[in-house]
Amino acid sequence: MQNLQMERNARTIRRWTNEEQRKFKEMTEIYRLDFRSYVQHFPGRTYTQIRMNYYNQLRKNKIVETNDIRPKENFQPVFEKLKHEEPDEEIFQQTLLKIHTESRLFSEQQANQSTQFTSPALNSAKQQLLIDPLRQAVQEQQPINDMKTIHNLINMIDEKAMQQQKQQSK
C-alpha cells in the first residue's frame, strides 16, 4: 500500500521536463515498448510513469507507432507470401550438415567429459570417418532429411572408428 501511495505522489509532484521529453523520444526509438529498459535512463521515474508518458505522447503528439503496436492485418500479405515460398533445398542440406557436425562435436565433447576413456587416436579416426561420409553424401546429393538416416550415419562412423582402433592396437 505504501509503495502505491508513493508512486501516486511521485506522479503528481513532477512534470516531465523538455530535456526528459527529448531523451524519452530517443529512448522510444531504441526500446519501443520495453518500458523496464527505460527505467535505468530515468532514475527519478517509475515504470508506471514511463508507461503513462509513452501513451500520453502517443495520443497527444502522434509519435510514430512502432511495429509492436501495429495491427496484425498489415503483415498478412507477408505471411501469405512466406507460406507459399518453396524452401531452398541446398540451404536446407547445408544447414542440416552444419547441425549434424555441431551435434556430433557436442556428443564427442560429452563423451570426453564422461567417465569413459577415449584415446586421441580414436577421436581423430572418428573425425576423419565423419568427414568422408558427409562429404560423399553432399557430393552425391543424397538427401539427409530424417533423423533415422543421421543416426545410421553416426552409428556407421562409430563402428568404423572402433574397428580402426582395434586394428591399430594390434
Q: What is the reported pLDDT for 83?
A: 67
pLDDT in tens, the chain (170 residues): 555 565 555 555 688 888 888 888 888 888 878 888 888 888 888 999 999 988 888 888 766 555 555 555 566 676 676 667 666 777 777 777 888 888 888 777 776 665 444 566 666 666 666 666 666 655 555 555 666 667 777 777 777 777 877 887 76
Question: Closest Cα partner for 104 from 96, 114, 116?
Answer: 96
Q: What is the reported pLDDT for 64?
A: 56
Segments making up each domain of the chain, as ranges: 2-69, 89-163
Q: What is the reported pLDDT for 115?
A: 44
State the burial class of residue 138 (Cβ atoms within 10 Å of its Cβ: 0-12, 13-18, 19+): middle
Is pTM beyond 0.75 here? Answer: no
State the burial class of residue 86 (Cβ atoms within 10 Å of its Cβ: 0-12, 13-18, 19+): exposed
Q: What is the reported pLDDT for 98?
A: 83
Question: Closest Cα partner for 92 from 151, 146, 156, 148?
Answer: 146
Cell readout for 45 is 521515474
Q: What is the reported pLDDT for 40?
A: 85
Question: Closest Cα partner for 24 from 3, 45, 7?
Answer: 45
Q: What is the reported pLDDT for 99?
A: 82
